[in-house]
Amino acid sequence: MGTVVEAANKGANGSILEKRKPTIVFVLGGPGSGKGTQCANIVEHYGYTHLSAGDLLRAEIKSGSENGTMIQNMIKEGKIVPSEVTIKLLQRAMEESGKDKFLIDGFPRNEENRAAFEKVTGMEPSFVLYFDCPEEEMERRLLSRNQGREDDNIETIRKRFKVFLESSLPVINYYDAKGKVRKIDAARPIEEVFASVKAIFEPKNEKAD
C-alpha cells in the first residue's frame, strides 16, 4: 500500500538515501490552464508546498535584483528565462521552506529547464500533472484574470501559446514517454478538475475492486 507519490519516490532499490530526497511533482499546462488554482487546492488537502516559477521570477523583479530588468523583459515577451536564474530561485525556496514535498508549478518549461534541473539538483519528479486545456478557454481565462500582470494582454498571450506548443509540450512528451504524466482535462469547472486531481493524490486502496 502507500500513495502513488510514495511508491514513485521509493526508487529502484528503495534505499534510505533515495527516500530522503524531497518529493517533487511538476505541474505543467498552458498559460491559464489553472495550474496555480489547482496547486492552492492541493496544498490545502495534501500538505504540499507550492512553488510557482513565475511567482518566484516576479518576486525577483520586485526585489530589485540585478537580473530584474532581464526577467521583466522576457516575461513581457513571453520568453523563457535562462534556467540558471530560475533553478537558483527554486533551490533557494526549497531550502528555505524546510519542507520536503513540493509542487513545482510552471517549471520545467523547456528542454533546457528540464535538463539543467535534473543535472544541478540530481532530482526527478515523482510525476507530472498536466492540465490540458484548449487555447480559446485559456485565452478567456487570462483576459479576465485581473491580477494586473504585464503579460496578460492578447499580444503577449499569443506569444506564450506559441512558446508552450514549441517548447513546453516537448517536455511533457518527454515525461510521458517515461510513464510519468498524469493528464487532466482542465477545461471543466474548478471543482470538477479538482476531483480528477484528488484521484491522483489519494492513497490507492489495493483491495478496492
Ligand X SMILES: Nc1ccn([C@@H]2O[C@H](COP(=O)(O)OP(=O)(O)O)[C@@H](O)[C@H]2O)c(=O)n1
Using CB under 6 A, list all residues that contact ligand X: 31-32, 35-36, 52-54, 57, 74-75, 78-81, 86, 106-107, 109, 113, 151, 160
**Binding site, annotated residues for ATP:** 32-37, 145, 188
In the complex, least distance from residue 52 CB atom to Mg ion, rounded to whole angstroms: 6
State the binding site for CMP.
Answer: 113
Residue found under cell 469547472? 189
- How far is Cα 178 from Cα 174, in angstroms, rounded to an integer? 7
Cα angle at 182 between 181 and 188, to 5 degrees? 135
Under the criterion CB under 6 A, does residue 193 sit at the interface with ligand ADP? yes
Q: Which does 53 bind (CB under 5 to 8 A by kind): Mg ion, ligand ADP, ligand X, none?
A: ligand X
- Nearest Cα to 75, choosing from 92, 57, 93? 57
**78 versus 125: smaller Cβ distance to ligand X:** 78
Q: How far is the CB of 107 from Mg ion (least distance, A)?
A: 11
C-alpha cell at 203: 492513497
Q: Print burial letters for 69-102: b (CB count within 10 Å at least 16), e (below 16).
A: eebbebbeebebbebebbbebbeebbeeeeeebb
Bind-site residues for a ribonucleoside 5'-phosphate:
58, 79-81, 106-109, 149, 160
Name 184's bridge partners: 131
Which of 27-35, 37-45, 84-92, 130-138 is the region at the interface with Mg ion (rule: CB under 5 A)? 27-35
Residues that bind ligand ADP (CB under 6 A): 29, 31-37, 141, 145, 189-190, 193
